Amino acid sequence: MKPFLIAMSFLAVLCCAYAEPIRLNPDNPHYLQWRGKPVILITSGEHYGAVLNSSFDYAAYLKTLQSDGMMLTRTFSGAYCEPFGAFNIANNTLAPAKDALLCPWARSDQPGYANGGNKFDLKRWDPAYFKRLRDFVATADKHDVVVELVLFCPFYEDAMWFLSPMYIKNNINSIGTMDREQVYTLKHTDLLKVQEAMVRKIVTELKEFDNLYYEICNEPYFGGVTLEWQAHIAQIIVETEQKLGVKHLIAQNIANKTQKIENPNPHVSIFNFHYAKPPVAVTDNYGLNRVIGDDETGFSGSDDKAYRIEGWNFILAGGGIYNNLDYSFQVGHEYGKGAVKAPGGGGTEFRKQMRILRDFIHSFDFVYMKPDRSIVRGGLPEKASAYVLVQPGNAYAIYLSECGGPLNLQLELPQGLWRIRWINTRTGQVNKRERITHNDGLCTLVSPAFQEDIALRVIRPQNPRPTQP
């Protein structure tokens, strides 16, 4: 009997390990499907150095994300890192201390890496790195956190390029003689082969994880990154996974703020934007029927308000991913309580506010909803904004910002019985609840007193699950 139980246990682990990766929702590809449930990924996470910075305690970090209700972490592969003080970020996890960088390539026996230790050998892998990478994704899996693994990043300044293992002075392979703005092109065959091999190795190492998708390159609109090179890297991912019998989603970072996507790559399922406020990027590209993400914030100071409004607006506009940059996560402060000295925000209180957004949107059958701001017909001050997801005739998720109350909000609602909840976006408390019977014409709802922003949940009591929009 014992060998049978051992065999069954092994099969159970194997089946679990090869669960279907997170994918586009089959009923509404503006959203994701994970472990049999539709999901919108909302988080406030560290500045992308959790794997490559060997001093960072990612186990404590991921435990904190789960405890605070965060659902996603974005991390870089190690082909890129930053120097101390870059972008005026103190305690930057992407700027590892001397000798603390881990990356896919093994160290050689020759001294001379720019930030301490031996140079890299681009022909050999570092087992310690891949052990850490796999354990990071496995630990995230245990804590119900999805990993967006960013394979490459442009070199904004020479200082970044001079820290990369791909730069000629940092490796023993005589590779990387070009200027930083030619690194991510198809011009240099020797370097391209190194990049291809890295992608194949990472994709192979992480083949069994379901809590994972890949982003080709962070902010490729800087540093000379070409569209042809991005398409080539996407093709390498696809071809490698076809041989492995798995398929993870691929994300492409499109622009800061917004850009109308023309001729989208058919291998790409997630289109990411940074600083996407107002959320025009969603409106501009909604017709692509793919997930639109806002996966980097910042440069608006440390006040929670700006990032809270950005997140709520983006999700209620129809976005599927929101990732706030949380600079309270630092080496030595992996529980997210470090003092923020950076051009962005973050911290315990802000993560509570993001959890309120997560809980609010997941209280709806959002797969059956679509953005429609036209139902708000009046009652808002001139500079106020309203974003609305609509399940016609059944449910309405509404977010109002840049205003205060009480106010008389006019909505275009069908006749019938409605249950109303006004929700404080900073505390999660229901500030006002009522049931109304609406006859015809515009419906006027009187809000409670509030400042800055408020969320509104309008549903038919005990409404049946609707048909697909």
Mean pLDDT of 339-360: 97
Which of 55, 68, 142, 75 shows the shortest CA–CA distance to 325? 75
CB 353 within 8 A of CB 308: yes
In whole angstroms, how far apart are CA 87 and each of 99, 206, 308, 336, 341? 21, 31, 22, 20, 11
Q: E strands, 82-199, where?
A: 105-111, 118-125, 146-152
For residue 462, name the pLDDT band (cuts at 50, 70, 90): confident
205: pLDDT confidence band, cut at 50, 70 and 90?
A: very high
Three-state DSSP state, 196 = helix
The model's pLDDT over 136-178, given as tens digits with 9 standing for 90+, comes to: 999 999 999 999 999 999 999 999 999 999 999 999 999 999 9
Q: Provide the angle, in degrees to the nearest 10, between the axes of the packed helices 58-67 and 127-142.
A: 20
Question: Residue 361: which of 322, 419, 418 has the closest Cα?
Answer: 322
Q: What share of the chain in percent tops pLDDT 90? A: 93
Q: What is the pLDDT of residues 276-303, one digit of tens each?
A: 999 999 999 999 999 999 999 999 999 8
Give the C-alpha separation, 342 to 248, whole Å: 33
The percentage of the chain sitting over the pLDDT mark of 70, rounded to a whole number, equals 95
In this predicted structure, the answer to whether residue 103 has a pLDDT above a threshold of 80 is yes
CB 81 within 8 Å of CB 164: yes
What pLDDT band is residue 18 in, cutting at 50, 70 and 90? low
With tokens 């976006």, the residue in question is: 425
Q: Which tens digits make up the pLDDT trace of 213-235?
A: 999 999 999 999 999 999 999 99
Q: How many CB atoms lie within 10 A of CB 8?
A: 10
In this prediction, residues 13-20 reach a mean pLDDT of 57
Segment 30-40 mean pLDDT: 97
Alpha-carbon span 335 to 333, nearest angstrom: 5
How far apart CA 208 and CA 331 sit, in angstroms, is 29
pLDDT the model gives residue 332: 97
pLDDT of 3 reads 44
Give the pLDDT confidence score for residue 441 in this predicted structure: 82
Give the model's pLDDT for residue 235: 98
In the predicted model, is pLDDT for residue 244 greater than 50? yes
Edge-to-edge strand list for the sheet holding 291-294? 41-45, 321-325, 291-294, 270-274, 250-256, 212-217, 146-152, 72-76
Burial class (CB in 10 A: 0-12, 13-18, 19+), 3: exposed
The whole-number pLDDT of residue 469 equals: 39
Q: What is the pLDDT of the chain when averaged over all its residues? A: 94
Residue showing tokens 């060998």: 3
CA distances from 123 to 3, 166, 174 (A): 42, 11, 11
pLDDT of residue 19: 85
